[in-house]
Amino acid sequence: TPRVFSGIKPSGGLTLGNYLGAIKRFVGMQGQMETIYCVVDMHAITVWQDPKELANMTREVAAGYLAAGLDPSQSILFNQSQVAAHAELGWIFNCVARVGWMNRMTQFKDKAGSNAEKASLGLYAYPSLMAADILVYHATHVPVGEDQKQHVELTRDIAAKFNHDYKVDFFPATEPVIEGPAMRIMNLRDGTKKMSKSGESDMERINMTDDADKIAKKFKKAKTDPEPLPETVEGLASRPEARNLVEIYAALDDTTPEAVIAQYPGAGWGTFKPALADLAVAKLAPISVEMARFMDDPAEIDRILASGSEKARAIADPILKQTYDIVGLLRG
Binding site for ligand TYM (CB under 6 A): 5-9, 17-18, 21-22, 40, 43, 130, 133-134, 142, 144-145, 147-148, 151, 182-185, 194-196
Closest to ligand TYM by CB, 72 vs 143, is: 143
Of 24, 52, 109, 111, catalytic: 111
Counting Cβ atoms within 10 Å, is residue 296 exposed (0-12), middle (13-18) or buried (19+)?
Answer: exposed
Phi, psi (rounded to 5 degrees) for 216: -60, -45
Specify the residue, 145 or 228, whose C-beta has the smaller distance to ligand TYM.
Answer: 145
Report in angstroms how near the CB of residue 217 gets to ligand TYM at its nearest: 20
Sign of CA dihedral 148, 214, 250, 295: positive
Which residues, in sequence order, are CB contacts of 69 under 8 Å at separation 6+? Answer: 27, 30
195: annotated binding-site residue? yes
Please name which of 179, 147, 178, 134 lies closest in space to residue 3, comparing C-alpha atoms.
134
Please tell me whether 196 is known to bind a ligand. yes
107/307 with CB nearer ligand TYM:
107
CB 155 within 8 A of CB 135: yes
Q: Name the catalytic one among 149, 161, 197, 283.
A: 197
103 is in an annotated binding site: no
Shortest approach of ligand TYM to residue 266 CB, angstroms?
Answer: 27
Q: Which of 24, 52, 193, 194 is catalytic?
A: 194
Residue 81 per-residue DSSP state: G
Residue 221 catalytic? no
Question: What is the closest distance, in whole angstroms, from the C-beta atom of residue 61 to ligand TYM in the complex?
Answer: 8
Is residue 197 annotated as a catalytic residue, yes or no? yes
Name all contacts of 251-255 with Cβ < 8 Å and 24+ positions apart.
251/20, 251/24, 251/180, 251/181, 251/182, 251/185, 252/20, 252/279, 252/280, 252/283, 253/279
Output the smallest distance, CB 216 to ligand TYM, in A.
Answer: 20
Is residue 109 a known part of a binding site?
no
Nearer to ligand TYM, 18 or 224 (CB): 18
Residue in 244, 22, 23 with CA at minimum distance from that of residue 148 = 22
Amino acid 132 reads A
CA 104 from centroid of its chain's CA atoms: 21
CB of 12 to ligand TYM, least distance (A): 9
Whether residue 6 is annotated as binding a ligand: the answer is no
Q: Is the dihedral of CA 157, 158, 160, 164 positive or negative?
A: positive
Query: Angle at CA 40, nearest 5°, toward 39 and 41?
Result: 100
Greatest Cα pair distance in the chain: 70
> Does the annotation place 220 within a ligand binding site?
no
To the question of whether residue 146 is assigned a binding role by annotation, the answer is yes
Q: Is 217 a catalytic residue?
A: no
Q: Which residue is nearest to ligand TYM (CB)?
A: 21
Considering beta carbons, is residue 247 or 261 the nearer one to ligand TYM? 247
Residues making up the binding site for ATP? 9-11, 17-18, 145-147, 185, 194-198
Active site residues: 111, 194, 197
Residues making up the binding site? 9-11, 17-18, 133, 145-147, 185, 194-198
Residues making up the binding site for L-tryptophan? 133
